[in-house]
Every structure is written in structure tokens, then in C-alpha cells.
Copies of this chain bind each other. A is one copy, B any other.
């Protein structure tokens, strides 16, 4: 049996009791370690599980999935995924390959940022499609996310923006020379994301994410040092929310006063918040 086990968002104790039992008993345990990270390292997980864990990078999962699935029709193999196994990144190709090999699969759900973002106090019913934000480079500043935010904004919906992480990336030079030397990991911050959104807005000028747009920066959701901050995108370019992972929610205009009451205490500046809320966000219904 192939078990896809969600690990939740923060540390080793965010696994479910059901998931932990499976991890303890499985013949082999893989940790998917390239689309998201826990806030603790693999050694900590191994200590908690009382067993070794094989770190699976993108190359392994995408090119050597048969190695992961080896024998899984006879023994139990656990594939651990930060968040929920079918959350922001789905592992449908692994499951499809398992099906081809006649291997059964069971999924152990857990918290995903795509629902845990409800901790901001915004109603999940009022979110449109989620978008992701990649690190811009000098020559590559994709703005397709802007179109999707615009679609959400047309109906007054909030948008969850998931921020890029780069782990085990090669520099162009090292890649060209075939050297397996990897750059240090990079995790996009709320400030960087706000900056890039303002950059796209300056180019597109459709009033979707300008300096007066309200957003919530969320850091380390589910951890004991979870942090939320509410401000205009302009304000958020100056906040420092500390260690990864960060996410951002761009507010839609279809708001509820309970949402305002909940988020107001996280405002960078309460006077600015009240002023902008009244101007652009106050529920008309």
C-alpha cells in the first residue's frame, strides 16, 4: 500500500495520530522536500518517528518514482508531504503511476495552507482562486497571476497568494556545466511579494493591487510564533515577518464586519486601516 501522509504546517507534532501510526509501521518512509518545508529539519522528524526518513527531491519524485513505489504492492510505503498530500501541489502523477503498477493508495489528509489561511479571520467562502507568486528576475516578471486576481476582484473575492520557495536550485552557470552544486534555499517574504505586486500594478495599471490595496501577511501559520499583519501593499513592503514560510492574502471588497473586527488588531497602523477600510472595503450590503 502507498500511503500519502500529510504532515501539516509547522512542526513534527502536526502529524495526525493516524498518520504517525502509519509512519511508524511502514517499510520505507519518503519525505517530499521541494514544494514546501516544515519549520523543523529532517533529523527532528526522524527522532520523533523513531526511524529513518529518505528525503525525496524533485528529481527523485519526477524521474525515479518507481524506486519509491518499489514493492509497494506487497509492503507499506509512506510518502510524507508537508501540508495536505493533495493541497497546493498535488502528487497525482505518483498516484497514477502507482495505479499502473497495481498498487493501492490511501490518503491521510492534514492542514493545508489553502484552508489554514482561514486563521486570518477571513471567511474561506469569500476566497476566489488561489494564485502563486514566483521570484521575479531582471528579465522574467510573469503577470498571469494578475489576471486571476482580477477575476477574483471583479466579484469582490479575497485571493490567497502562495509565495515561491527555491530549494536545491542550481545557478545557470552550474547547470550549464553540469555541476551538482546548489544555491542556498530562498523563501519569498511578504515584503518581497508586496513589492512585486506593486511592480506589476505599475505596469498594468488596472487598479487591482495598488499601494492602497489592503492585504494580510501571514507567517508560520500553525506554529507557536505564527504572525499576522494587516496593511496596505505599500505598508507591507516594509514589514519584516521573520522566518519562513510566508503567505499573503489580497483582500476583496466583499467583506463582512466580523472580518474587519477580527483583522483590525493586526493592522500596521490602525488609523490608516480604518481610513482605507471605510474608503474601499466597507460592506455595502
Contact = CB atoms under 8 A, between A and B. Distances in A.
Interface of A is mostly: mixed
A262 B92 contact: yes
Q: How large is the interface on A (under 10, 10 to 19, 20 to 34, 35 or more residues)?
A: 35 or more
Interface in A72-86: 84-86
Interface stretch (A28-36, A59-67, A114-122, A192-200): A114-122
B15 A17 contact: yes
B9 A258 contact: no
A226 B108 CA distance: 11
Nearest to A265: B99
A269 to B, nearest CB: 19
A245 to B, nearest CB: 13
Interface stretch (A127-135, A164-172, A182-190): A127-135
Given A9-B109, A258-B96, A125 B115 contact: no
A-B pairs, top 4 by smallest CB distance, nearest first, are A86-B118, A109-B111, A112-B115, A13-B18
Given A109-B221, A125-B131, A148-B155, 16 more contacts: A13-B21, A14-B17, A16-B17, A16-B111, A84-B115, A86-B121, A87-B118, A90-B124, A92-B262, A99-B265, A108-B222, A109-B222, A114-B115, A114-B118, A128-B128, A128-B129
27 contacts: A13-B16, A13-B17, A13-B18, A13-B21, A14-B16, A14-B17, A16-B17, A86-B115, A90-B118, A90-B121, A90-B124, A92-B258, A96-B261, A99-B265, A109-B119, A110-B110, A111-B112, A112-B112, A112-B116, A114-B124, A125-B129, A127-B129, A127-B130, A128-B157, A129-B157, A148-B155, A151-B155
